Structure 1
Amino acid sequence: MSPVRWPDAADDAIKGDLTVAVAYITPAGGAVVTSVSPVGIGNRESGVVGFTTSLGFPRKLERILRDPRVSIAYHTREHGFAATSSYVLAQGTASVELRPSPKRLAELMRASEPFLGKTRRGPIWDWLLREYHQERVFVDISIDRVAVWPDLRTRGAMTVTGAAWPDVPAEQKPPKNGTEPRVDVGVLMRQIHKLPHRLLAYRGADGLPVIVPVTVDRPTEAGLHLDVPPGLLPPGGRRAGFLAHSFQPQCIGLGMRTLTGWLTVTDEGAIYAPHTSKGLAAPPYKTLLTVSNGLLAKYGLWRARRDGTAARLQHLAARKRVD
């Protein structure tokens, strides 16, 4: 098949957004959505976009290796370089490169500096940041479809490049433990109060995650009431992931909260009942953030080697290549 060559508006966002939302599928048929900084990784000629991560986040990598259907939403122009106002959703099949070449790692460092700032150099910094820079994992996504809306709130007509937009997905079977919230909704609202970028992800009819921006209308005992442009959420009930995040220039002072839960859409609106909640915050100081990144990368790699995570991921990746 020929590569999907997305339009100019999409290319501008892909090359220029500082932070994006990435969604992948869970074994239960839900979706997890989190934020990453792709530093402009994307090649329109080959129809591939991507991002990097580390062995310190093994669950994400393991799930992508087991089910490579992944989506990226280019949903905010904040602190980036893109000029377009379009919301861009890129969907496709991921491959994971656990051991990238020194050349590719060097290219990544050069590409990251306009987005994340100049790389710290010197004997101490080189030691501290060795694992952070040299033990990166690349996730490359061969694009099946790119959907573009004319504004970041997904208002207006959607245009699609590549595979046609699929039919409405069927409802999912409710979890055995029920669909009601398992997280205190009032506490959750206080946690996401200062996290303005909010997105929801669910598995589409073709198995690819769909990521849409949402506004939290109000919290109730039933969950979060969501305000979404008409037609973006399928009717009925299903597992879904929720992301709320914020970030400053060069991703200094970022905050993120990721949820899994149950989405119910009726004629009366959409309600999201959160079941799990995890938060992350990075200090708003460049030097402290850099030190934290270096130490976390060292610890994550040590833990991955000690508990067998690195070997397990290598086995999964090798099996995928054979398949």
Structure 2
Amino acid sequence: MTISWPDEIDAVLVNDLTCGLSYLTPAGGAVVCAVAPIGMRDRELGTVGFTTSLGFGRKLERIERDPKVALAFHAREHGIGDTSNQRYVLVQGDARFDARPNPQMMERLGAQAAAYTGPPRRGPFWDRWLSAYYADRVLVTIEVTRIISWPSLDAAGTPEVFGAPLPDERARPQKAPTNGTAPRVDVAKAATKAATLPHRLLAYRQSDGYPAVVPVQVAASGPDGVRLTGASGLPEGGRRAGLLAHSFRAQAIGLECSQYTGWLEVDGGGAVYAPHTASGFKIPPNKTIMLLANGLLARRGLAKARKEGRAGVSGESR
């Protein structure tokens, strides 16, 4: 059933420059990364969207395998609307994509993106250099199942729910990984990096199969992992979870991201996150450097996607 949402929610979906995408792993965990929604939504159809790169094959493969995803609208800075609306908005739904999108559609999206990322660079060099970037883009559309909205960006207070009711049952603890739950990367380094960046999101699989994404703060670290606070409503017990810490500037310039997968343990004493894998990047706050990097990464990603046969496979056929 198509759901609708009020104007104050729609204003958030239109405004935000970036949001956190969470998708599920085959082992029952959740990954969270930053994407650009650029205001893509249709209230009549009950859909929300974002674009990503064909080069991120694992992300697309996992979305195709299990289309349940979530988008966390968690940061108002550098958007295009009224930043006084400080609601934290979580969109949950089922994603679909087409790895061979209509060129006219992508051109329209490029024009729409200009309001968020600035006008595109033009000229013989930039047209050639960025052609792979635009050819590499994939539109992902999410058929919205529910929207959960809290009155503040820290997700405190009582949420409003639009669409399907929240599941009655809390997520049950998961079986521990074969290799154990202890940290596998430098905990102190991960805690310092996550605490330094202004935005942090924690994701896990809730009982109805959709990812839940909550904002968190770093309190401390120790041999057992990173101690997190502010994660209201986390289910007790242990489970696989993803953690994202990131920052961005106007027009998505100066991106910095640290992304983790690991094990989350919640009890009466709080939440401890043991990171198992770590990845990330940092791009200098210079638009020319960013565009050069985008073009280079897109060329590599597009070549990889074509080599692996992903550039000609449509997610509509799953």
TM above 0.5, yes or no, is: yes
Residue 279 of structure 1: aligned partner: 280
Equivalent runs, 1:171-190 vs 2, <5 Å? 171-190=173-192
3-state secondary structure, aligned to 1:188: helix
Residue 270 of structure 1: aligned partner: 271
Residue 256 of structure 1: aligned partner: 257
Equivalent runs, 1:1-323 vs 2, <5 Å? 1=1, 3-83=2-82, 84-166=85-167, 167-230=169-232, 232-311=233-312, 314=313, 317=315, 319-320=317-318
Task: Please report how far the alpha carbon of residue 145 of structure 1 lies from its aligned counterpart in structure 2 after TM superposition.
Answer: 0.3
- The answer as to whether partners of 2:146 and 2:163 remain within 8 angstroms in 1 is yes
Per-residue CA deviation, residues 206-253 of structure 1 (Å, 9 max, x unaligned), is 0000000001111111101110254x2011110000000000101110
Distance 1:180 1:198 in 2: 21
Per-residue CA deviation, residues 91-125 of structure 1 (Å, 9 max, x unaligned), is 00000121111221111111100100110111111
Per-residue CA deviation, residues 135-183 of structure 1 (Å, 9 max, x unaligned), is 3111100000000000000111100000001121111001011111111
Distance 1:281 1:24 in 2: 23
Tell me the matched-pair count. 315
After superposition, the CA RMSD in angstroms is 1.3
Distance 1:82 1:13 in 2: 8
Give the aligned residue type for 2:16: D
- The answer as to whether partners of 2:89 and 2:149 remain within 8 angstroms in 1 is yes
Q: 1:318 to 1:4 in 2, by over 3 A?
A: closer
Give the aligned residue type for 1:236: G
Task: Please report how far the alpha carbon of residue 29 of structure 1 lies from its aligned counterpart in structure 2 after TM superposition.
Answer: 0.2
- The answer as to whether partners of 1:253 and 1:285 remain within 8 angstroms in 2 is yes
> What percent of counterpart residues are identical?
49
3-state secondary structure, aligned to 1:118: coil
Runs (4 or more) in structure 1 with deviation over 3 Å come to 307-311
Structure 2: any 5+ residue segments left out of the alignment? none
Structure 1: any 5+ residue segments left out of the alignment? none
- The answer as to whether partners of 1:194 and 1:246 remain within 8 angstroms in 2 is no
Relative to structure 2, which stretch is displaced further, 79-88 or 168-177? 79-88
- The answer as to whether partners of 1:202 and 1:211 remain within 8 angstroms in 2 is yes
Give the aligned residue type for 1:52: T
